[in-house]
Chains A and B, each alone.
Chain A
């Protein structure tokens, strides 16, 4: 039945376009993608970082620049205190690993949920900790690629999201990030290398469905904290 529907739909499209050849035509050449060249400037990491932090704050997130692993640890510990929780769900990022953040938190009596745990366990965690693959300074956006180390739900189910961003991962605008993604993930041959989900996150979850009142945390996190780290350029 589905075959039949497909054929009927494709035939009526061809009829509508007054093209009567059967089967699939030659691969058409689309108009060129828009070239963002006119918007390209040479941004240094400092100004990208500054803009990124400002924009995250504009979309009701919190953002800070950190210089050391200790600073990140103490910031995280401060959050656990502030939100009165002692559990988190932490992704397996390289940098998070290098800080031994999980071990440090566990030594302070904080339960750390790792990738592979069930959704309801993740949902009960107080804070979700992730490492962003890219960030966009112009809009204050985090870009997260799903893989075995980075489950989708860690940035989504816990009521607070703490994301770590490398300074060198910040690009200026959406054109830049799409170019990056296009030259990395799109070229993968094996379908399993292509991330099943790429999530762009700009501020905490929000709604304005009740009389246009902006309310944070409707389904996703109510609060978003972003820590930028890395050597100064």
Chain B
């Protein structure tokens, strides 16, 4: 029984988001910053294209042999003294983790940022079992206090202003209203330091897992993941099963690609390579290490040769920052786990939810995401495949109605017959007159905000660009003539 509490209604939530001026400012400045930092880092890396290509080859290889590598990973981790668990779905993963906690009398858990734990709603599971769980990444901590969901893979609280956070802290933590980020960060440090020292169990995500050595890699800036994986006596890591890189040596290119794509840093402040629990002689580190390998729909993604590449994703977030849709609506509109272009392709494949099939349509197919992707995921291709699966009714979506299918057939016929198409364009140009909005009408950028039935469905959620006075062909011919003239004069 799916126990999701996610709700996806992209059209409704994007309308709310677009109207939120504060959110829009925050989104634009955050995504602009990440983009600029990424570009600088990539420009400074002469081997960028080469390592991208190699990383893609390695990812293809890993997914093509995933059964082998996962068994090998289990073997290596077991050899290093850790325990590997397998979870078919989110509920099973949450049950495994809460059972590990319950069996060891764990009362409180500290968590570092992990999208996979968001995906399986681990915090709810802990709370249902009466176990206290505290998010320790500052952004996640803010979100947890506010009872919300992350809005960006890297910066989960970008939708919150410092005023929001000041009020939240004084309400929830009983501290005076501080406004400076340094002060707020200091409050969180003190509160969370106590949690770290008292926690019985630490939960982390996994950025990479290496079957060769049984090593998991955790990338972060705050140091909270180091603390989560060092201080409590039990460390549980949850990983989506695609996070494998075959060899220890391969980590160099993957870390390079992930970190530069994500924040533009040469290396993040902390990168931890964790191999099993503490060694016998070590003076600190957890006594137990558990890795939970999560399928939750990933084997289904792998079975489709077009969408399989969704599993190469490193979760860097670069595609969010360049996406014209994400930049307007933010992460919550996508349901609050994976957002932006990567959310649009993996959410419908991972989660069987009402509304999730709208997400592949939340894209103009501009391809900016494909361009910045460090493992060359062909987003437009995957989006189109998912749309087509949806329309063909292979997924549990709704087949489009008869009128929509007829309209598309007619459209296609007209597109294939130029004279008919031009004729219709002429008629449409005059027929649209009463509907075109005044603004931009003169310079050829007119828009139609609302059309009468049966076209009203089209304009309910978007404007329709007005049909231009001159067709592209006509303008082309004119331009050609002009150029021809000027060439004659030479």
Contact = CB atoms under 8 A, between A and B. Distances in A.
Contacts of A152: 226, 230, 284-285
A196 B282 contact: yes
A209 B138 contact: yes
B197 A123 contact: yes
B61 A13 contact: no
A206 B277 CA distance: 26
A34 B54 contact: yes
Contact of A174 (B64, B71, B138, B267): B267
Given A174-B256, A199-B272, A218 B267 contact: no
A33 interface: yes
A74 interface: no
A94 to B, nearest CB: 17
Contacts of B192: 219
Contacts of B222: 205-207, 218-220
B51 A9 contact: no
Interface in A160-200: 174-175, 177-179, 181-182, 186, 191-192, 194-200
6 contacts: A6-B86, A19-B67, A28-B64, A174-B267, A195-B273, A202-B268
Query: In the complex, which of the residues B61, B188, B281, B284 has the most CB atoms of chain A within 10 Å of its own CB atom?
Result: B284
A183 B302 CA distance: 34
A135 to B, nearest CB: 12
Contacts of A200: 267, 270-273
B83 to A, nearest CB: 9
Nearest to A16: B303
A119 to B, nearest CB: 6
Given A151-B282, A196-B282, A220-B226, A27 B295 contact: no
Given A2-B86, A9-B295, A119-B197, A206 B231 contact: no
Given A30-B247, A147-B279, A152-B230, A2 B85 contact: yes
B317 to A, nearest CB: 13
B189 interface: yes
A211 B273 CA distance: 30
Contact of A31 (B61, B88, B182): B61
Nearest to B157: A209
A12 B185 CA distance: 45
Interface stretch (B26-34, B117-125, B405-413): B26-34
Nearest to B71: A24
A232 B201 CA distance: 47
Interface in B121-137: 136-137
Interface string B284-317: 1100000001010001101100000000000000
Interface residues of B, number: 103
A93 interface: no
Given A178-B252, A210-B181, A220-B222, A12 B295 contact: yes
Contact of B51 (A25, A34, A186, A199): A34
Contact of B285 (A192, A197, A220): A197
Nearest to A1: B92
Contacts of A201: 269-270
A120 B268 CA distance: 27
A123 B256 CA distance: 32
Interface stretch (A41-49, A63-71, A96-104, A138-146): A138-146
B361 interface: no
Given A179-B249, A201-B270, A194 B80 contact: yes
B230 A156 contact: yes
A203 B88 contact: no
A207 B248 contact: no
B466 to A, nearest CB: 39
A126 interface: no
A9 to B, nearest CB: 5
Contacts of A116: 283
Given A5-B88, A12-B299, A178-B249, A215 B182 contact: yes
A140 B268 CA distance: 11
Interface string A104-120: 00000000000111011
Contacts of B252: 34, 36, 174-175, 177-178
Contact of A13 (B85, B267, B269, B299): B299
Contacts of A15: 299, 303
Nearest to B224: A219
A208 B230 CA distance: 23
A198 B248 CA distance: 12
B182 to A, nearest CB: 6
Contacts of B26: 211
Closest 10 CB pairs of A and B: A220-B223, A16-B303, A209-B139, A139-B266, A12-B299, A200-B271, A148-B281, A219-B223, A198-B273, A178-B252
B70 interface: yes
A22 to B, nearest CB: 11
A27 B75 CA distance: 14
B272 A153 contact: no
Contacts of A34: 47, 50-51, 54-55, 250, 252-253
Interface stretch (B158-166, B366-374, B377-385, B453-461): B158-166
Given A146-B285, A151-B284, A186-B213, A220 B302 contact: no
Nearest to B256: A174
A140 B246 CA distance: 27
Nearest to B75: A24
A198 B221 CA distance: 16
B80 A218 contact: no
A203 to B, nearest CB: 5
Given A17-B66, A28-B68, 5 more contacts: A136-B267, A141-B266, A197-B230, A197-B275, A219-B222
Contact of A38 (B47, B92, B241, B278): B47
Contacts of A186: 212-213, 248
B221 to A, nearest CB: 5
Given A146-B285, A153-B231, A194 B213 contact: yes
Given A31-B54, A148-B281, A219-B136, A202 B189 contact: no
Contacts of A115: 283
